[in-house]
Amino acid sequence: MPESINPTATNSSPVSQGTVNIGSWFSRAWEIVSADFSNFVILGLIYCAMIAVASSTVVGAFLVVGPLSVGFFIIIFNKMKGIPLKIGDIARGFDYFLAAVLSNILVGFFVGLGTIFCIIPGIVVAALYLFVAPFIADKKLDFWEAMEASRKSISGHVFELSIFIFLLFIVNLIGVLLCVVGLLASIPLSFVAIAVAYEDLVGVNKE
């Protein structure tokens, strides 16, 4: 089971004692995406397009990937609460600009460092920090608090979440192979699957 997280640090109750069910996560994610498929595809298009444009500069991608990811999770968590999907809410991730950017840079650095050592350590590090953006979107944490919260919530499920990360990679690789257009569906599916996993292992704020 994951270590408990200080409720004061997370602005919520301690981590719930959820269980890992990767098949259920993908199944539930597909149900959510397919129920509002066109809007999720548009979200995937906006996400990819903004990153592509930002990547034209040296530091551009570093400044948008984190906030866009947080915004994506804000939309998904709202939908889980019954709030209609609003595509423009992806920009709300920029309300947490500093936390989103710094955490994205640090996690990227740690994952890259781990990948140098035979790839597997990089996958493990990616698994440990899988919930950083969700913690920022849901609990409004600062970058280091979100990183620590993610690490603690996943520490008891590292092996299973590493497999989950690998499967997410396969899903998006298939998206690339489908003339890249498949990414417009695989990226939203991946975000929703992570959000569902977060809901099970941590719990989403109901406010």
- At 14 the pLDDT is 40
Integer Rg of the chain from CA: 16
122: tokens are 């990089």
Domain ranges of the chain: 20-199
Average pLDDT, the chain: 89
164: tokens are 């989950």
Spatial neighbors of 34 by CB under 8 A, at least 6 apart, are none
What pTM did the predictor assign?
A: 0.89
Report whether 131 contacts 200 (CB < 8 A).
no
Spatial neighbors of 16 by CB under 8 A, at least 6 apart, are 200, 201, 202, 203
Report whether 12 contacts 205 (CB < 8 A).
yes
- At 17 the pLDDT is 55
The label of the residue with tokens 């149900």 reads 31
Q: What is the pLDDT of residues 3-54, one digit of tens each?
A: 334 433 444 444 445 789 999 999 999 999 999 999 999 999 999 999 999 9
Q: What is the mean pLDDT of each run of 10 residues along the chain (207 residues)?
A: 40 57 96 95 95 86 94 97 93 97 95 85 94 97 97 94 96 89 93 97 87
